[in-house]
Structure 1
């Protein structure tokens, strides 16, 4: 995928990404925020500042703003003008949004969130490393696009066209990527978007019965075979 095509997808007003995803996946944000809360509740972190890189419509931060400690300040960065038009309406005390390149900012935070972002970035190793320097703790939400089911149903190329994924992961390669970026893995959980979100395609929902059954028996095997999961990883 050429750089110019990536710019066309995200960086222009009325972008291709907005045309394909007019809500910017805002409807999934309460669920994603809940997953972050779940992971944070398992790990006692002392936080006063949280930043999200690639914050999109800003609703994840908006949800966390209302649910986490009232002393925490939240900041969202996104290069897309379309995303910023959506996020800036949520600005309030302790919650700010910027249409700026995060990598160019001389800033530091306690926690950095990167939710379904680096699979869109050409040099994702460099992007992860450079962003990670700006926070003590990092949480990554990574779609696990590679599964037996997704390969058989040719879903990977469809995702490339509709949501712009240009890198694809399974659990082991996702974890290895973060380790290769010199990050320490503190904790992780699977997130079951296919099972828990109601706005998924009919073909995806068809597999939810075996997903529910086999995930209880062998989570790793279930994720590799049936797909429909992402992984949420806390690092330092």
Structure 2
């Protein structure tokens, strides 16, 4: 499955590498860092794609922190390398094979659902930093299982090969040795524009249902992800 990131297939299907969503994702990361009073000096992202999440974080924190992005796709690296600057460094390399660096925080933002051996990935990633931040799409819900087409669409278009609920995502992290520090839902389907007419149709029901019972809303209607801070 990793071949699609090296041979240009993923880039052909997703030419922007989801750069347009990066400012919103960076805000979610800032929120979980700041509400847990973390003060990291070195922050790394594995599978950094176009590098825009790190770019936005580096602008927000200015010169107070150093940022590092690792990417295995040559096409994505061409995009992110252009954003290198004094406090932001990118490498065309696999972080899990780099024993030279240790970070205060390592981030895997919408990553391990793409990885064939995600248990092995998570165990290795755990050794790379004190804290880890994950953003995990919750592809499994009543409506996606009943329709099935959204799951297959994500498999073909963005390479999701594993599918999670909040409960299975958290248990996966625990099973691979992580201690959960904090987590909350994020809702790109409501908060980001241009998600398609079906997502737009569900915006109001999702918001109303979520305000009443967030777990049940996510479990039934879907459209949410989970951001997790772990040790």
1:222 aligned onto 2:217: yes
2 CA distance for matches of 1:88 and 1:199?
27
Q: What per-residue deviation string (whole Å, max 9, x for no partner) do you get for residues 70-109 of structure 1?
A: 3210000010001100000000011000001111101200
Equivalenced residue count is 229
1:142 aligned onto 2:142: no
Give the 3-state SS of the residue equivalent to 2:21 in structure 1.
helix
- The residue that corresponds to 2:29 in the other structure is 36
Ranges in structure 2 where 5+ consecutive residues have no aligned partner: none
2 CA distance for matches of 1:132 and 1:69?
27
1 CA distance for matches of 2:170 and 2:185?
12
- The residue that corresponds to 1:151 in the other structure is 145
1 CA distance for matches of 2:62 and 2:78?
27
- Runs of 4+, deviation exceeding 2 Å: none
State the shift of 1:69 in Å: 5.5
- The residue that corresponds to 2:174 in the other structure is 179
State the shift of 1:150 in Å: 1.1
Ranges in structure 1 where 5+ consecutive residues have no aligned partner: 1-5
Q: What per-residue deviation string (whole Å, max 9, x for no partner) do you get for residues 160-207 of structure 1?
A: 000000000000000000111110100001000100010202112211
Give the 3-state SS of the residue equivalent to 1:174 in structure 2.
helix
1:117 aligned onto 2:105: no
1 CA distance for matches of 2:176 and 2:194?
34
Give the TM-score normalised by structure 1. Answer: 0.95
Larger CA deviation: 112-121 vs 199-208 = 199-208
State the shift of 1:7 in Å: 3.6
1:127 aligned onto 2:118: no
1 CA distance for matches of 2:192 and 2:147?
20
Determine if contact 2:136/2:169 at 8 Å carries over to the other structure. Answer: yes
- The residue that corresponds to 2:48 in the other structure is 55
Give the TM-score normalised by structure 2. Answer: 0.97
State the shift of 1:39 in Å: 1.0
Q: What per-residue deviation string (whole Å, max 9, x for no partner) do you get for residues 115-170 of structure 1?
A: 00000001001101101101000000000000011122221011100000000000
